[in-house]
A and B are shown apart, each in its own frame.
With several copies, the nearest count.
Chain A
Amino acid sequence: MTGVVIAGVGMHPFGRFEGVTTTDMGVHAVRAALHEAGVARGGFQAAFCGTAYGGVATGHKVLSRLGMTGMPIVDVEAGCASGGAALMLAAGALAAGQYDTVLVFGTEKMPRGIIRSSFFDPWQEEAGLAATPSFFALRAQRLAVTSGVTKDHLAQVVVKNRRHGASNPDAMFQKEITPEEVLASRVICEPLHLFMLCSPNEGAAAVVLRRQADSPGSPPPRSPPHVTLAAAVLRSHLPGSVLSESTPMSGLTDDAVPSPTTLAATAAFEEAGLGPADLDVVECQDTDAARELISYEEIGLCAPGGSAALLASGDTALGGRLPVNPSGGLLSKGEPLGASALGQVVELVRQLRGQCGDRQVDGARVALSHTVGRGANAGVVILTR
């Protein structure tokens, strides 16, 4: 346990917003989170901002607009796990007693079109090896071999998440989709069709963290049920897997190397004193449909090889034993890199408070958020109430 509680959350919807700046979205989310936490100017002592494309001083611009600067403001980049990294740093500083209250937020406007990542060397681009969705496709194809995942399973992930997202006002796509529609969308890289991939987009999310010792004995009037940060862990990759998010040009035939997600999840469960069986609701990285299934196995929601069966059982759909991505996931929300991990945390805090309406997971008490991206970085956050 980290001894840290969630004092407030806020969000700017994910989507495409012409004329709205990265700063505008951050201000919107931060203002909402501070308001919910009852925190005004001077009420927090440090701020961590996750962003990948926001540019110089992204966090400062947001806090300058709000008239709240002077404290340390750190901009953190850890790919898809940027928000998770920011949360981990904030939680650590609170646990160290450096601060009593800390603001964590992420804000992002992803460039339109195919995104050119500085990750790859020029020769990799020239040789056609900087083909990001192809790596996802290769992972999906291997999942067919190791776990019996078919195209129908991949379509089913999209159908499930889009059904969840249909009742999320913060999602980009709030409309259900049929398996036939998914499979009729064009093939990007076999076996992945267009609708099996999430859309890079725009959005912001914010969380106010407070040291438990400094929390009032009873929650303030406006405050919903207390949500505790049980763990916030970031891990990078170990070498070995040719399909690791670290995107190496080669790997070993040894398949026993744990993924960054497994490293982070294992450490997070240990920090929280909990295990996969304790979870009531999960938000996990679903950059593409196969990635959600890989996450099931890497987090330990099922045994290795069991992801297709877990999906088929209906357990991970709303109404099932362990709903995954009740927010609709990235497949419904889209993915603004710096904000996506904190968007998951916002959703889970609202789930634990029972504020999610049609997509509420009844009686949820233990929640896990998972992001992983190029680097590699994997972030796992466990929340309880």
Chain B
Amino acid sequence: MRTMVQPGLFTDGEVPTLLGSRCTACGAHHFPRHDTCPYCATEDPVPVELAGSGTLWAWTAVTSPPPGYQGEIPYGFGIVELPEGIRIIARLTESDPAALAAGQPMELRIVALHADAEGNDVVTYAFAPGAP
């Protein structure tokens, strides 16, 4: 069985998506979903599914486990720019910084973090190098 690290962040289907929102007043996109637009304080953003692919904007690798993390190290950590005009903080499947390049295509994946007490795989969103 798979269990999401947090409900409401992403869908875990064949083609996964990130669950964001869009402000109907200023047009900005948000991730995770907001009930108030952080950019203009309008209170009625609409839920949207964000694009599943984007380009790499910044990246590094985490080499020792941060607080509360039980998965494997090292892992990639970076920022992916989506066509909606937003940048997302995310895990990267590639943990060798030298194997990545600015602007390269990235695709959304759902990846396993660790097994929980019931033996379920806890999964989260991540980006992987994609087809050019």
Q: Please determine if A and B sit in direct contact within the complex, based on CB atoms under 8 angstroms apart.
A: yes
Contact of A141 with B85 in the complex, beta carbons under 8 Å: no
Find chain A residues with CB under 8 A from B86 CB. Answer: 250-253
- Can you name 15 extra interface pairs (CB under 8 A) apart from A67-B42, A114-B64, A189-B63? A65-B35, A122-B68, A123-B5, A126-B5, A126-B113, A127-B91, A129-B89, A131-B66, A134-B62, A137-B60, A142-B58, A187-B63, A190-B97, A243-B79, A250-B89
Interface of A is mostly: loop
Inter-chain contacts of B9 with A (CB < 8 A): 123
Decide: A66 and B36 in contact? CB cutoff 8 A: yes
Offer 23 A-B interface pairs, CB within 8 angstroms, sorted by A.
Answer: A65-B38, A67-B39, A67-B40, A68-B41, A116-B67, A126-B69, A126-B113, A127-B69, A128-B91, A129-B77, A134-B66, A138-B58, A138-B77, A141-B60, A189-B62, A190-B60, A242-B79, A249-B32, A249-B88, A250-B86, A252-B87, A253-B85, A254-B85
Contacts of A141 in B (CB 8 A): 58-60
Is A188 an interface residue when CB atoms closer than 8 A count as contact?
A: yes
Query: Is B28 an interface position by the 8 A CB rule?
Result: yes
Contacts of A250 in B (CB 8 A): 20, 29-32, 86-89
**Do B31 and A126 touch across chains, with their CB atoms under 8 A apart?**
no
A358 interface residue (CB < 8 Å to B): no
Residues in B neighbouring A121, C-beta threshold 8 A: 6
Measured in the bound complex, the distance between the Cα atoms of B59 and A366 in whole Å is: 39
Query: Complex Cα distance A67/B28, Å?
Result: 12
Contact, CB under 8 Å: B122 / A126: yes
- A129 adjacent to B36 (CB under 8 Å): no
Query: Known contacts A127-B5, A189-B61, A251-B87; is A132 also within 8 Å of B66 by CB?
Result: yes
Is B17 an interface position by the 8 A CB rule?
no
Question: For the complex, is A64 an interface residue (Cβ under 8 Å from B)?
Answer: yes
Partner of B66, one of A27, A64, A114, A254: A114
